[in-house]
Amino acid sequence: MSDKLLLVVAALTSLTWGLTGIFIRLLPPVSPVLVASLRLFVALLVTLPFIFLLQNRQHGFALVCKRPIAYVLALLLVAYYLLATIAFQVAPVAEVALLLSTAPLFVLALRWMYGTKPAVVEVVGALLALSGMIVIMSPQIINSGHLSWQQVLGDIAAIMAAIMTALYAFWFKKLAEQGKAPEASGVALLTFAMGSIILALLVATTGKMGDFSELDSRSWYLFIALGVLSTAIPTFGFALASKRLPAIITACISLFIPVFAGIFAFLILGEYLNLHFLLGSLLVISGVILIVRQAHVKTSRD
């Protein structure tokens, strides 16, 4: 596959991931556990035929299933999908997408905790990103008389989802440096399978089965779009881009997701971007760019 085609794949990955919040918000107000479960189940159904057709993929997935660490990594991604769903249901789509893109900030914090002192540029980037997050959430903090607990919950869920992504990325990188990392596509498939089963059991045990009655034919079309366009395709597209393109380009995929999400939210949901969000997003994206760029410089030197 040519580099030009890979760049198209990277752009489509940002575009389709940017649609995630739109599909979730267009669904009826059902349990986020049910939404995440069906999303992963659809992604699993779409992915399985390709695994069965490609013998090398079957062997790779079998090897992944024998690695206990793969299950831990998959659980982190399942937690990410659930938390992101909760966030998109109750907070503005563009705001959630932006907070989800702050994972590099938490990766930096994890590296610091494990003894890797951050560079000055990374510290500046972290401070900018944190300032941006505070600016974005400040209307909910300052206007306590009009405090939207749902939006605060959504913001917190989005930040926790970003932490799950950071834990996954940090741990996966550590394993890769030791030559022990499981295949990324195999972990993704394991995530779809485990998430479908675990979250379905959670739906059954929490008495949320009645939410199925809220789903009409339109809802099922949305679930198919969510599972295929915003889960299966970008997951494997990102894995492919990560293998073949420079790290700085694949890192930019996450930075463009809030941009596409904001545009889609405005055009489809009618969500307007206030001044706090615009200023905060500028700070967050600038901070994340500094962190990612410095990480790329370090990798190039190594």
Encode pLDDT of 62-120 as tens digits.
888 888 999 999 999 999 999 999 999 999 898 898 888 888 888 888 888 888 788 88
* Ramachandran bin of 207, using left for φ above 0, alpha for ψ from -120 to 50, beta for the remaining angles: left
Number of domains in the chain: 1
d(CA 213, CA 236): 32
Work out the end-to-end distance of the chain between its first and last CA atoms, rounded to an integer number of angstroms: 27
pLDDT for position 55: 55
Domain that holds residue 52: 3-301
- Tally of CB atoms within 10 A around 219: 17
Which helix (H) or strand (E) covers residue 37, if one does? helix 32-53
Closest CA relative to residue 16, chosen from 168, 219, 236: 236
pLDDT classification of 134: cutoffs 50, 70, 90: confident
d(CA 172, CA 167): 8
Summarised one tens digit per residue, pLDDT across range 15-51 is 888 899 999 999 998 999 999 999 999 999 998 887 7
**Length of the chain in terms of residues written:** 302
